[in-house]
Amino acid sequence: MAVPHGQQMQALGKVLRRLKRYRFLLALSILFAAVTVALTLYVPVLVGEAIDLILGPGQVDFTGIAALLVRIAWIVAVTALLQWLMNTINNKITYQVVRDVRDEAFRKIQILPLKYLDAHPHGEIVSRVIADVDQFADGLLMGFTQLFTGIVTILGTLCFMLSIHPGITLVVVLLTPISLFVASFIARRTYAMFKLQSETRGRQTALIDEMIGGQKTVQAFSREKASLDQFDEVNDQLAKYSLRATFFSSITNPATRFVNSVVYAGVGLTGALVAIGGGITVGNLTCLLSYANQYTKPFNEISGVVTELQNALACAGRIFDLIEQEPQVPEEPDAAVLSNVKGHVSLQDVSFSYDPDRPLIGGLNLAVKPGQRIAIVGPTGCGKTTLINLLMRFYDVDGGAIAVEGEDIRTVTRRSLRSSYGMVLQETWLKTGTIRENIKMGRPDATDDEMIAAARASHAHGFIRRLPKGYDTFITEDGGSLSQGQKQLLCIARVMLCHPSMLILDEATSSIDTRTELKVQEAFDRLMRGRTTFIVAHRLSTIRSADKILVMRDGRIIEQGKHEELLAKGGLYSKLYNSQFAC
C-alpha cells in the first residue's frame, strides 16, 4: 500500500510546529551537538600527529606524544559531558512534546461530538493516545539524538578530509550517493508498513478492550472460541505487517554498511597509493581512514533513524488525525447562561437523524410546563433515547429548535444547560476512586452531611455503611464487587446531591429489585416534586402517575395523554401496556 509522500511531510510539519515552544532547548541541543561533533572529529587529527611523532627505533618523541594524549583525554571528557547534557535536553524536549500531544488529544476527546465517539471503537481511540504516542516518542527521541548529530558529523568530516587531501575526499563524495540511494529506496517502503502496523495494533487494542468489558456476555453465550478466532485473525495480521515493517527496517543497516565498507576500502586504497607517492604522511592516512569510518557511520545511524521516523510519522499521523477532528459545534461568544430554570421546555418542529439517508425524528412538537412529569414510551428504536440526547444537546437538531425557558439551547452554554438536568441512565457509570468521590462528582464542594443525606434518600447509605471502609471504600470503574443495583443506587445518590432543576430518568430503576425499587420510587417522587421530569420507561407500570405520556413510533409522537386516557383509546400504548401484563 503506497502512502503519499505529502502525508509524511504534513505529519513532520505538525511535529515541528509543536517544537516551536521549546526552541531555546532545541537550539541548546543543536549547539552541544555541533561542539561534540567538532571535538570528536578533532581527536583523529591529534592521533595522526602522535603517529607522525613515532619515526622509528630510538626516534620516538615521548614528550610530544604525552602532551597529545593529555589533550585527547581532556577532549574526550568534555565531549562525554556535552553528550550527556545533549541527551538530557533531548529527553526533556521529547517527553514535553509527548505530554503536550497527549494533553491536546485528551482535551479534544472532551469536545468531540458524540457521533465520532459512537462511530469509533473506544479501544482504538485509547491505542492512538497511548501506544501511537509512545511509538511517536521513540522515533522523535532517536531523531533528536542521532539525526542532527549524524548530519553535522558528515559535513564536519568532509571539511577535515578536504583540509588533508582534496583528491581522496573526492573519492568519498563520489561514492556517497550510493548509500543515500539505498537508504532512500528502503525508507520510502517502510512508512506504509508501519502505518498498517499501527492501524492493526489499534484494532487489536479495541478488540481486547471490548472482550474484557464484555467477558461475562462472551462466556454466557459460549463465544470464547469465536472471540479467540477473531483475535487470532487480527493478531496474525499484526504479525504479518510487523514482520514486513521489521524486514524493511532491518535490511537498511546491512545495506548501508556494505556501501560504507566500499567507501572505506576506496579511501584506504587511494590513500595508500598517495602515501607511497609521498603525497601524505602515514599519520595523515590513519587520520583519513578514521574519518572515512566516522563519515560512513552516521549513514548507518541515519538509516536507522529514518526507519524509526517512518514509524513515528505513521503514528503521529493517526494521533494528529484525532486531534484535528471537527469538534462539536462551538458555543457562541455571547452564549447566554441559563439561570433560574423553572422547567419550561418546548420542542418546535424538531427533526434529526444519525444517518442522513435514514431519517429518525421528524416534525416533533412538544410543550412542557414546569413540574410536569413527561413519560416517553414506545418500541425499541422509536427515538426515545435520541430525544434525551437532543434535550441534553449531546447531539444538535437537524431542523427546528429546542428551547428551555424560552431560550434556544443552541444559544446557551452547554455547561449551564446540562447542569440544569439531573440524569440517571439504565447503564451505570462510575469512575475509579472512592464511594465519596463518585457521589460528589457533580458537587465536589458538597459537605459530608449533604452527601450522606443524598445516600439515605436513595437508600444507598445502608450498603455503603457495610462496606470495609464505608464512604472511603475504593472502587474501580466497573464497580468492583458492587451489584448492578448498588451501582445504580450510587448514580441516583449522585443526582440527588445535585438538586437539579429538571430530571431525566432513563430506566433508572431497571437494575434494582422490586423491594428496593419501591423505596427508590418514593425517593424519586420527593425529588421530582416541583421539577420537570422526563422519564424513559419500558416497564409501563412505573409511569402511570405521569402528567403526560408520549407514545413514540418511527421518531414521531403518535399518542399523548394520561395513562387512563391512552388505555381508553385502545391504540399502541394500550397494546404495549396490556402485553406486559398478559398471562
Q: What is the pLDDT of residues 336-383, one digit of tens each?
A: 888 888 888 898 988 888 877 777 788 888 888 888 888 888 877 777
pLDDT at residue 2, rounded to an integer: 39
Say which residues have a Cβ less than 8 Å from residue 561's Cβ, sequence separation at least 6. Answer: 548, 549, 569
What are the helix (H) ranges across 403-506? 414-418, 435-439, 448-457, 461-465, 484-498
pLDDT at residue 216, rounded to an integer: 67
The grid cell for 82 is 556535552
CATH number at residue 245: 1.20.1560.10
Instruction: Assess whether 381 and 311 both reside in one domain.
Output: no
Instruction: Assess whether 34 and 104 both reside in one domain.
Output: yes
pTM: 0.63
Instruction: Kindly report the backbone phi and psi dihedral angles of residue 505, in degrees, each rounded to the nearest multiple of 5, phi listed first.
Output: -120, 110
Instruction: Assess whether 307 and 451 both reside in one domain.
Output: no
Euclidean distance between CA atoms 200 and 120, whole angstroms: 14
- For residues 310 and 197, the answer to whether their CB atoms sit within 8 Å is no
Q: Is the pLDDT of residue 265 over 60?
A: yes
Query: Is residue 403 domain-resident?
Result: no
Rounded to the nearest integer, the mean pLDDT of the chain is: 80
pLDDT at residue 3, rounded to an integer: 44
pLDDT at residue 78, rounded to an integer: 92
The grid cell for 551 is 407514545
Instruction: Assess whether 29 and 89 both reside in one domain.
Output: yes
The domain tally of the chain equals 2
Q: Could you tell me the strand order of the sheet in which 407-408 lies?
A: 361-368, 345-352, 399-404, 407-408
Instruction: Kindly report the backbone phi and psi dihedral angles of residue 112, in degrees, each rounded to the nearest multiple of 5, phi listed first.
Output: -70, 145
- Residue bearing the bigger pLDDT, 187 or 424: 424
Q: Residue 90 sits in which domain range?
A: 18-323
Instruction: Assess whether 217 and 288 both reside in one domain.
Output: yes
CATH number at residue 473: 3.40.50.300
Per residue in 1-51, pLDDT (tens digit) is: 334 556 667 777 777 787 788 888 888 888 888 888 888 878 877 877 777
Query: Is residue 380 domain-resident?
Result: yes
Determine which helix (DSSP H) or strand (DSSP E) holds 532, and give its type and residue range.
strand 532-536
Instruction: Assess whether 94 and 190 both reside in one domain.
Output: yes
End-to-end, the C-alpha distance of the chain in Å comes to 61
Instruction: Kindly report the backbone phi and psi dihedral angles of residue 167, in degrees, each rounded to the nearest multiple of 5, phi listed first.
Output: -65, -45
The domain boundary, picked from 283, 300, 323, lies at: 323
Query: Is residue 335 domain-resident?
Result: no
Percent of the chain with pLDDT over 90: 3
Query: Is residue 148 domain-resident?
Result: yes
The grid cell for 278 is 609521498
Q: Is the pLDDT of residue 583 over 60?
A: no
Q: Is the pLDDT of residue 430 over 60?
A: yes
Per residue in 240-256, pLDDT (tens digit) is: 888 887 787 777 667 77
* E-state strands within 321-477: 345-352, 361-368, 373-377, 399-404, 407-408, 421-424, 433-434, 474-475
pLDDT (average), residues 545-567: 83
For CA atoms 239, 240, 243, 244, give the dihedral sign.
negative
Instruction: Assess whether 221 and 308 both reside in one domain.
Output: yes
- For residues 426 and 507, the answer to whether their CB atoms sit within 8 Å is yes
Instruction: Assess whether 52 and 196 both reside in one domain.
Output: yes
What are the helix (H) ranges across 381-447? 384-391, 414-418, 435-439
Euclidean distance between CA atoms 391 and 401, whole angstroms: 10
- The b/e string for 315-353 (b: 16+ C-beta within 10 A; e otherwise) is bbbbbbebbeeeebeeeeeebeebeebebbbbbeebebb
Instruction: Assess whether 441 and 529 both reside in one domain.
Output: yes
> Which single residue is written with the C-alpha cell 532545541?
26
pLDDT at residue 14, rounded to an integer: 78
Q: Is the pLDDT of residue 301 over 80?
A: no
Query: Is residue 96 domain-resident?
Result: yes
- The b/e string for 536-556 (b: 16+ C-beta within 10 A; e otherwise) is bbbebebbeebebbbbbeebb
Query: Is residue 367 domain-resident?
Result: no
- Kindly indicate the confidence band of residue 303, based on its pLDDT and cuts at 50, 70 and 90: low
Instruction: Assess whether 302 and 432 both reside in one domain.
Output: no
Query: Is residue 361 domain-resident?
Result: no
Per residue in 488-539, pLDDT (tens digit) is: 888 888 888 888 888 888 876 666 667 767 766 776 777 777 888 888 877 6
Least confident of 69-73, 205-209, 367-371, 418-422: 205-209
Determine which helix (DSSP H) or strand (DSSP E) holds 506, and give its type and residue range.
strand 502-506
Instruction: Kindly report the backbone phi and psi dihedral angles of residue 49, in degrees, each rounded to the nearest multiple of 5, phi listed first.
Output: -65, -40
DSSP state of 338: -
Q: For 16, what's the count of Cα atoms within 13 Å in the CB-facing half-sphere?
A: 6
What are the helix (H) ranges across 120-223? 122-127, 133-142, 148-164, 166-213, 215-220
Per residue in 63-110, pLDDT (tens digit) is: 888 888 898 899 899 989 998 998 888 888 888 888 888 888 888 888
- Kindly indicate the confidence band of residue 559, based on its pLDDT and cuts at 50, 70 and 90: confident
Instruction: Assess whether 319 and 382 both reside in one domain.
Output: no
